Structure 1
Amino acid sequence: MRRQVGTVFRKEMRDHLRDKRSLLTVMMLPVLGPLMTLLTLQMVASMMRRDQPVELAVVGREHAPSLMSFLERQGAILEDAPANYEERVRDGALDMVLVVPEDYGRDFSRGHTAEVRLVADSSRRSAIVPVQRARRLLEAYSGQVGSQRLYARGVSPELAMAVRVADADLATPAQSAAQWLNMVPLFLVMVTFAGGLQLASDALAGERERGSLEPLLLNPAPRGVVVLGKWAATVVMSVFATVVTMMGFVLALKRAPLEDLGVTVHPDAAFIGVMLVTVLPLTLAASAAQMWVSTYARSFKEAQLYLNLLMMVPMAPGVVLSLMPMKSELWMFAVPVLGQELLAGEVLRGEMLRPLPFLLASASSVAVAWVALRAVTRLLGDERIVFGRS
């Protein structure tokens, strides 16, 4: 039986490796995922670098000379705002504009609250960090002037601050890094499905469309052997794509400016090994499920359509976890895809990992693979499946 499975496996691998376009398609996600992660981290780091000066366009800067002097001492680059500054902010040409009204000086000199306006477009994500930095500068100036006014009147500024909140962040550098690297588990899980998609489409639907499935099943080998050989080839391609993606993420993390984000992660051999042990069992279930779906397709293109829809399965838990972070419960690790993404997230956070969640996640993947392979084997005994091409 082992020799028969190996024969089918070699036949599938040889046929698949001949198709260079399929191989290039399979390798797109393993390459694009780490590359997108690297570019995203570089963009975020460039926006959050503290040594970058705040560029601030000002309307009515002559009304607040002390404020302008304070901002310049803090390293802000001030310039006169154009007349159509609101339109320029909407277009994204300006991140923000500080508007100082004419009555600012009168209210300020009388000790009243002097109001300024910070005009920005909150829908532009590129302006969020510069606006926050400018707002902190303005708040610092307000606090400084307020303290000086109280001192001038013989009042301690501490009387105006009944409670001071001191932040005590207990997050480790690895846990902070996980907030920026939460796309890594999602991409790894998606690649377990994408890696074997082309081969799973061709192994059953493609062979049936070409009319080569019937002669294959006429060979003196049980249908289960044929299914195992095709499944093994699909698993190999999925594992290969997953490992390449993991290596790509390691290179991306080593080149990413994580220090500018205030996080530290060390993608050493132990980290790589644990991540692969977490994700690779899912290749068994993903490959079997893809073959099961492909069995119902009547053509290669139809199989690809169904399997592309199946790719939504690994995306759903990742999107939910990124939008609504939840506390992991033990039963969640027994849910295929969700368990792998939760485990990968905990590995990134540097959590103390227990063996039971790994066993549950792996066992659920093996169970799904077994059910799917049994279903494919039964379907190949149905004449409507084997001979139905229209």
Structure 2
Amino acid sequence: MKALLKSIFRKEMRDHLRDRRSVVSALGFTLMGPIIFGMMFTVMASWFRKDKPLELPVVGRANAPSLIAFLERAGAQLSEPPADYEARIQAGKLDAVLIIPEDYGKSFEAGRTAEVHLVMDNSRNQARTTVHRVSQLLQAYSGMLGSQRLMARGVAPELAMPVKVEEVDLSTPERLAANLLTIIPIFLVFAAFSGGMNVAIDAMAGERERGSLESLLLNPVQREALVTGKWLATVVFACAAATVCLAAFMVVVTQVPLQDLGVKVRIDAATVLGLWVAVLPLALMASAGQMLLSTFARSFKEAQTYMQVLSLLPTLPGMALVLSPMQSKTWMFAVPVLGQEMLVQELMRGEPVGVLPFVLGLVSCGALALVFLGWTARLLGDERIIFGRS
């Protein structure tokens, strides 16, 4: 049986490595996650760069000389807005325009609240950084004037603020980074599922459609060895895809200017190894499940249809964790997919996880893989599966 298993494994690896388009397609699809991540966060970082000049068109600059001087001292680059500034803001060509009404000076001198108008389009994410910076400057100017007015009347400014809240942030850079990088576990799990998908389909549904599986089973071969050899080849491709995806993410994380988003990512070699070990058990289970599902399919195309539905399932726990984070419990690490995604998040947060979560994930995924492989081997003894091609 051992020699037969090696022979089948070598044959499957040789056949699938010859199909270069399939290999490149699987790896290229795996790299989509890191590429999308890099592009998305690079653009976001360019929006939130703190050293980016604050360009602010102002209408009625002569109506508030002191305010204009304050903004210029703060580093704002003021300019005259175009006549169609509202249309330009809606089109995304301008972030915001500050309007100072003509009666600003009268209200200011009378000691009343002087109003200014900040014209913006709050539906545009790119403009929110500029709007936030302008709002902070205006609030700082208003607070400074309020304190000066109270002091001129002999009142301590502290009386206007009976309670002051001082935030004590206990979060670490790793935890802040993990909250922002929650997309990484989803793509890692998806890579473990998609890497060996084409191999599993061709090993079962493809050979069944071509009739080669029928002729192979006519020989005195043990079905368990046959299934195990094909499964091992599928696992190799799934592990390779997960490894490439993880390596690509590590490269992208070091190249994207995440510090402009206020995030400091520190991922050492031990963390990378932990992420790799956490995801690999999914390759065992996913490969076995894909082979089982492909055995029911009568053609390669039918199996692809099944796999499209199956590929959506691993994303559900990840999306649930993004939308509604939950406190990790020991039993959760024994739930396939959910346990791996929670373990990846814990590692990225810098939490001490210990050995138990890794063992639970490996045991649960390995047990399901054995169940799926045994089921597949039994199906190969069913004439309706082997000879039923229509």
With the length of structure 1 as denominator, give the TM-score of the two structures: 0.96
More off after superposition, 33-42 vs 136-145: 33-42
Match of 1:257 in 2: 257
- Distance apart, 1:196 and its partner CA: 0.4
**2:8 alignment counterpart:** 8
Query: Per-residue deviation at 1:381?
Result: 1.6
**One-letter amino acid of the counterpart of residue 91, structure 1:** A
Matches within 5 A, 1:306-317: 306-317=306-317
Segments of structure 2 that go 5 or more residues without pairing to the other structure are: none
> What is aligned with 1:129?
129
Once the two structures are TM-superposed, the CA of residue 262 in structure 1 deviates from its matched residue by: 3.2
| Partner-residue secondary structure (3-state), 1:78 | strand
| CA deviation profile, 1:240-288 (whole Å, cap 9, x unmatched) | 1111111112211222223333333333321111111111111101111
SS state at 2:31 partner: helix
* Paired letter, 1:333: F
Cα deviation digits, residues 203-231 of structure 1 (max 9, x gap): 11111111111011122211111111111
After superposition, residues 1-390 of structure 1 pair within 5 angstroms as: 1-390=1-390
**AA in 2 matched with 1:307:** M
Task: Specify the SS of the correspondent of 1:263.
Answer: coil
- For these two proteins, the number of residue pairs brought into alignment is 390
Q: How far apart, in 2, do the equivalents of 1:373 and 1:187 lie?
A: 25
Kindly provide the CA deviation profile for residues 309-350 of structure 1, in whole angstroms up to 9, marking residues without a partner as x: 211111111112112212122222121111100000010000
Matched AA of 2:223: R
Contact 2:48/2:129 (8 A) holds in 1: yes
Query: How far apart are residue 74 of structure 1 and its match?
Result: 0.7
Q: Is the 8 A contact 1:182 1:322 kept in 2?
A: yes
Counterpart code for 2:264? T
Instruction: Report if the CA contact (8 A) 2:267-2:348 is conserved.
Output: no
Question: What's the CA shift for 1:200?
Answer: 1.0
Given residue 40 of structure 1, which amino acid in structure 2 is its aligned partner? Answer: M
| Separation in structure 1 between the aligned mates of residue 364 and residue 257 of structure 2, nearest angstrom | 37
Q: Matched residues in 2 for 1:351 and 1:264: separation?
A: 16
SS of structure 2 residue aligned to 1:177: helix
Q: % of aligned pairs identical?
A: 54
Instruction: Look up the SS of the partner of 1:97 in the other structure.
Output: strand
SS class of match (1:280): helix
CA–CA separation in structure 1 for the residues paired with 2:123 and 2:343: 34
Which runs of at least 4 in structure 1 moved beyond 4 Å after TM superposition?
A: none
Shift of 1:294: 1.1
What amino acid maps onto 1:9 in structure 2? F
Distance 2:276 2:352 in 1: 17
For 2:55 and 2:388, how far apart are their aligned partners in 1? 67
Which residue identity lines up with residue 141 of structure 1 in the other structure? Y
Larger CA deviation: 241-250 vs 337-346: 241-250
Residue type of the alignment partner of 2:10 = R
Listed one character per residue, the Cα deviations across residues 51-106 of structure 1 (whole Å, up to 9, x for unaligned) are 11212122233322221221111111122222322222111111122222232222
CA distance in 1, matches of 2:257, 2:20: 35
Whether the 8 Å contact between 1:253 and 1:267 is mirrored in structure 2 is no
* 51-60 or 347-356, larger mean C-alpha shift: 51-60
